[in-house]
Structure 1
Amino acid sequence: MEWFAAGNYDAARFVLQRGIAALYLIAFVAVLRQFVPLLGSYGLLPVPDFLERAGSRAGPTLFRWRYSDRMVVATAWAGIAGSFALVVGLPQQGPPWVPLVTFALLYLLYLSVVNVGQVFYGFGWESLLLEAGFLAAFLGSNDVAPPLLVLLAFRWLLFRVEFGAGMIKMRGDRAWRDLTALYYHHETQPMPGPLSWFFHHLPRPFHRAEVAANHAVQLVVPFALFLPQPIASIAAGLMILTQLWLVASGNFAWLNWLTIVLAFSAVGDDQLVALVPALGPVLDDGSQATGDLWWVILVGVMAAVTVVLAVRPALNLMSANQAMNASYNRWHLGGAYGAFGSITRRREEVVVEGTSDPDGRTGWQEYVFRGKPGPVDRWLRQVAPYHLRLDWGMWFLALGSGAQHRWFTVLLRRLLEADPRTLRLLALDPFEGRRPCWVRARVFRYRYSTWHEWRASGHWWVRTVSGDLAAPLTLTATGE
């Protein structure tokens, strides 16, 4: 059954299994650190309230039968343990069913989290990680060769990510079509990184060339993933280089890193050895075995399911009304992906402040978030692939999404209470754990400073007040 075993892709399997597991590890660390203050029993959007409202519409989740904050913490630790085992390669040393069960456990645990995560888990890369973890379960162990059908399923997933993103850009915003999108993107993206200011100030002709290159990589190159080697490896290499450029220019959680990992599904061992000859002796030891009949049948069933699930996202790619980041089932498999179908031209930020003045007239001090822009002299950090969920929520809040206001009102109350778990989500509590008398939220217009302004002041941003989002509130004036 030479058609079943892809003996020339041991490096691809190595990167896929360990890379996906590493990103699951990061995702479960985020659950451990952020889930309870955001979604716990006393969180901003409590899961028990959500499950009472949503019922079966919430989708498959362990928490349907019972929810507790301790259970979430246990889920996170179980996910961390399973992910770490896969990263160091322990399950891969056994028969194929061992990594299969381990990845299946990670998938089901994280699915349980995503399906109750509400707006804080409403990102396309949550479904992408789930789908990648599901496919990784069928990559086998060191006892068998990587199944070709699984590698093709990974390439189809990568195709949807890249081609879907390219098509949504062309259909969604004129700035992508006239090559001006990057005049604005680095300044207005959700979570700028430490180099985003410098990217923004690159010459405009270079920005236009960036957009043109992006279109080529997302709209043309993905088709080469299904061509013979070395063409498929070259296509994957171009995607990896593009994603590394995006990693350097911003913070998009694990979206770019996961796309890089997926691209290795098209990288053959021979092509990798040609690039890095030192890997030759290591890759020569890969297994060529097909595996037992049960394994072949199981992989075949997975491939058949993938084909059935491919229909709706394929139709979506061809639709003039293409959906971006759409899940067509509650298992988050066979979804549609894409990003930045439209580009924001102006950046507005919600700045939360508090004061200890009983009259609320003076002494206002700013709460500083871990990743989003705040004080104008603060150089932003590289936080990706870690996901700062509250900070991303604040970006959507500044865009005027009404669905966000319910949790934001609760956030203000938690700040007035000086709730320790909520304060740990922030980079700086100006009151050092004490309760403020008042809090408020103002909207500021942000823009990057020019080179001249930066040299003169050391400020990365220039900001002006646009208006109020929440007038000054006291603890007695807030409600949940």
Structure 2
Amino acid sequence: MIPLRYTRNLFLRAFCIVYLSAFLSFYIQIPGLYGDNGVLPAKAVLENSKHKTLSAKVHYQPTLLWLAPYLGLDTNYALDVLALLGAFLAFTGLVSQKFCTIPLFAGLWSLYFSLFQIGQTFVTSSYDEFLLEAGFLAILVAPLLPGRKKGSKGASSDFVSFWLVKWFLFRFLLTVGLTKFISGCPKWWSLTALYYHFQTMPLPSPLSWYSHHLPDWYLRLIQIFANVSEIVLPFFFLVPIRSVRLTSFVFQIVLQICIVLTGNFDFSNMLIVTLLLSLLDDQFFYGRKKALSRWTIVGKIVNVVIFGGILYGVVNLYSLKFGGTHIESNIAFTKIQFDNVLSQGLTYTIHFGLLSLAGTVLYTLSHVLFDNQGSGSKTVGIISTVFYGIVAVLLFFANAVPLASLHPTSNSTVAPSVRTVYNRLHKLHAVNQYGLFPRMTGVDGRPEIILEGSDSIEGPWREYNFLYKPGNVNHSLPFVAPYAPKLDWQMYWAAYSTYEKQPWLLSLTHRLLVGKPEVLALLDKLHSPYTQKPPRYIRGILYRYKYTPWSQKSQSTWWVRERVSEYFPAFSRDSPALIEFLKARNLLPTLSKQTVNPIWKQALDSIRYVTNHLEATLLFWSVLTAGLALICTSGSGKK
């Protein structure tokens, strides 16, 4: 049995980095998004509760924010405490392995779940649910207490808990890949989706412009690589052949690096890379070279055969034809054939997963029973394996529900009792349904909402600029991941809707009209007007953006745009229509009536003052660098 102790430790510390980015992202944006003067005040969510007792309130909205009055805090400062405490715990787990235990990860999950409960529309991108589900599994991976024996191989339950991580990652990638074809989107089916993807993604990176101008045949090959990586390769996460898993790991890492370089997708790619560590073992990091055993040679041969077969299948299923300067490709299977395979394949996939889980549990039990260790350790190992095995079976069947729901045939086979388990776990976001970007949008150009202000209804109108989303056609966009700019991200989705269905957008407009500094801090104040005095009117204009052609790469212009229509009419701060709209949705800013302990207030205001003087991404990388420096200087990073 190859040990997993070092792999587990690396996995948990990497997870702490993900949590660190998530909590810091939330903390930076609390005043502008969730404060009393924010776009969607958090206290409005809590005030909707008519319950009197603490237990009834927690049942209505499970969040630690209900404890704020008992700690001498109001909702605003309680949010700061939760986010800072989460960042502190994540930093602690990063710099010291001995703190990476179940209590720490249970605390991290509880804190982020509490923040998620008041996140409203700004936590609907699926990535927050992705973190919560993965964080729930990290609790199972973490040890109950710090390891004491330096030479310990780790707990026997590591194999079962890591199997759950691999199954979750398998289900996530498979679902993301399949939904692109299930949606019937003609761009995914014609292998032309990447012609538009780099231009229409929510937050492009500086390299997105260059990726958009890659040759068409090359973009088609990249899409094929992504399809295979998401739909085919995840099956090999669960096979018992080490060399096959390692090869799958390499391909997945290449895909994630490409995504990170060409787009800003919050902390999701960092989290996927962390989950991919479950495919490794300690031998990958410090294994010594030794003579190849018979099984190792067989495994390598099987690895070559499998990936050779995948290459052969790709050539046939995508009709690859190799020319002199390019490679032609087209999907060679029909939608009917895909649907027929999917209807039966999902059921076989679930059976395959159950067989893999059973094999993992039996494999672990056999090593516990026949390993040369004391009777006490053997008893603990058996109890631990059985316990984690039962938990794994429960989570497996709950995970099977969203997977089976991808097709009506397999969905109809789900037992009501299994669906009940899923529903209860889904309320905790411990199991979720995914399917990112199933249809390619913005084929004719990406829609963008531009907010314009003026002191006269006749104009002139001047634009507000955001920090991370397209606006000024002469401004390139920065690398921002793993920081998650929730306002910029949500502006992207609002452009595909109407302002009546996006009440937060008019709330943002009202805050700008009254000049709330907390909200202005979320915008690009260096390139935006009215930072000193708010305008009298603000309106929303819908534009269509496209990248400039390759021939203009020497110029400073990155985008060309054309006006489409008025997104919402001009409003003043006292506009009756605007006031009534916000009042009906309890979105008018109000002063907090809760008292705050002066010691809490002074301490939290001091921290906020310091962090307000640092750019968001710089704050994260500074904290991360400090953590890594502590690891190096203290020697705590040694296995």
The bucket for the TM-score relative to the shorter chain is 0.7 to 0.9
* Residue of structure 2 equivalent to 1:39: 34
Aligned equivalents of 1:113, 1:275: Cα separation in 2: 45
Give the aligned partner of residue 438 of structure 1.
537
One-letter identity of the residue aligned with 1:463: R
Instruction: Name the CA shift for 1:275/1:435 in 2 (closer, same or farther; >3 Å).
Output: farther
Question: Which residue, 225, 242, 245 being the options, matches 1:229?
Answer: 242
Q: 1:156 matched to which residue of 2?
A: 167
Please identify, of 299-308 and 152-161, the stretch whose mean Cα deviation from structure 2 is larger.
Answer: 299-308
Q: State the 1:474 CA deviation.
A: 1.6
**Structure 1 counterpart of 2:284:** 271
In structure 1, how many angstroms separate the alpha carbons of the residues matched to 2:234 and 2:133?
19
3-state DSSP of counterpart to 2:140: coil
- Change in 2 beyond 3 A, CA 1:432/1:401: closer
2:16 corresponding residue in structure 1:
21
Deviation at residue 65 of structure 1 after TM alignment = 6.0
Residue 498 of structure 2 contacts residue 567 of structure 2 at CA under 8 Å; is this kept in 1? Answer: no
CA contact (8 A) 2:62 2:114 kept: yes
Shift, 1:416, TM fit: 1.0
Match of 1:108 among 83, 107, 110: 110
CA contact (8 A) 2:63 2:115 kept: yes
- Report if aligned partners of 1:60, 1:331 keep a CA contact under 8 Å in 2: no
Contact 1:230 1:271 in 2 (8 A): no
Partner amino acid, structure 1, of 2:567: L
1:421 correspondence with 2:535 = no
* 2:349 paired with 1:251: no
* Counterpart code for 1:373: P
Kept after mapping to 1: 8 A contact 2:475/2:558: yes
Given the two structures, how large is their TM-score scaled by the length of structure 1? 0.88
Give per-residue Cα distances to partners, 1:28-69, cap 9 Å, x unaligned: 112211123212333222223234447778652223565610
1:292–1:315 Cα change, 3 Å: same
Query: What amino acid is the match of 1:208?
Result: R
SS at 1:426 equivalent: coil
| Letter of the 1:397 counterpart | A
Relative distance call for 1:234 and 1:273 in structure 2 (3 A) is farther
Residues 119-152 of structure 1, C-alpha deviations (whole Å, 9 max, x = no match) = 1011211111112222212322444615111100
Of the three residues 401, 410, 416, the one matched with 2:507 is 410
Separation in 2, partners of 1:218, 1:313: 17
SS of 1:348's equivalent in the other structure is: strand
2:552 counterpart (453, 470, 473):
453
Between the aligned partners of 2:206 and 2:9, the Cα distance in structure 1 is 31
**Local SS of the residue matching 1:435:** coil
Distance in 2 separating the partners of 1:189 and 1:180: 15
Of residues 175, 187, 191, the one that matches 1:175 is: 187
**What is the rounded CA distance, in whole Å, between the counterparts of 1:321 and 1:450 in structure 2?**
46
In structure 2, the residue matched to 1:124 is: 126
Other structure's SS at 2:101 match: helix
SS in 2 for 1:462: strand
Distance 1:248 1:290, change over 3 A: farther
Q: Could you report, residue by residue, the CA deviation over 1:298-329 in whole angstroms, capped at 9, with x for unpaired residues?
A: 5445324323422312312454799xxx9862
The percentage of counterpart residues that share the same residue type is 29
Residue 189 of structure 1 corresponds to: 201
Q: Does 1:198 align with 2:210?
A: yes
CA RMSD, Structure 1 to Structure 2 (Å): 2.7
1:400 corresponds, among 497, 521, 526, to 497
Q: Tell me which of 385, 389, 400 is aligned to 1:311.
A: 400
Residues in 1 aligned to 2:171 and 2:506: alpha-carbon distance in whole angstroms: 37
How far is the alpha carbon of 1:389 from its aligned partner? 0.3
The structure-2 alpha-carbon separation of the partners of 1:432 and 1:36, relative to structure 1 and needing over 3 Å to count, comes to closer
Structure 1 unmatched runs, 5+ = 1-5, 93-97, 278-287
- Closer, same or farther: CA 405–335 of 1 in aligned 2, 3 Å: closer
1:11 Cα deviation (Å)? 4.0
Higher relative contact order (CA 8 A, sep 6+): 2
Shift of the 260–402 alpha-carbon distance from structure 1 to 2, 3 Å rule, reads same
1:385-434 deviations in whole A, cap 9, x for unaligned? 11000001100110115575211111111111111100111122322332
Cα deviation for residue 275 of structure 1 reads 11
Please give the residue correspondences for 1:456-475 in structure 2 after superposition, counting only pairs within 5 Å.
Answer: 457-475=555-573
Q: Give the counterpart letter for 1:305 in structure 2.
A: L
Supply the distance in 2 between the matched residues of 1:54 and 1:189 (Cα, whole angstroms).
37
In the TM superposition, residue 156 of structure 1 has moved relative to its aligned partner by 0.7
- In structure 1, the residue matched to 2:349 is none
Q: What amino acid is aligned across from residue 3 of structure 2 in structure 1? A: N
How many angstroms apart in 1 are the aligned matches of 2:387 and 2:515?
53
> 2:470 aligns to what SS in structure 1?
coil
CA contact (8 A) 1:196 1:250 kept: yes
The question of whether the paired residues in 1 share the 8 Å contact of 2:11 and 2:277 is answered with: yes
Report the secondary structure of 1:184's partner residue. Answer: helix
1:331-353 deviation digits (Å, cap 9, x = unpaired):
11122223110001131100112
Task: Work out which of the two has the higher radius of gyration on C-alpha atoms and give 1 or 2.
Answer: 2
Partner of 1:280: none
The answer on 1:262 being equivalent to 2:264 is no
The 1:431/1:42 distance shift into structure 2, 3 A limit, reads closer
Cα offset, 1:436, TM superposition: 1.6
- What is the count of residue pairs matched by the alignment? 454
CA distance in 2, matches of 1:319, 1:17: 37
Letter in 1 for 2:540: A
Post-superposition offset of 1:106: 0.5
1:211 maps to 2:223: yes
* One-letter amino acid matched to 2:193: A
- Tell me how far apart the structure 2 counterparts of residues 150 and 291 of structure 1 sit (CA, whole Å): 19
Contact 2:2 2:281 (8 Å CA) reproduced = no
Partner of 1:48: 43
Residue in structure 2 matched with residue 82 of structure 1 by the alignment: 89
1:334 aligns with 2:431: yes
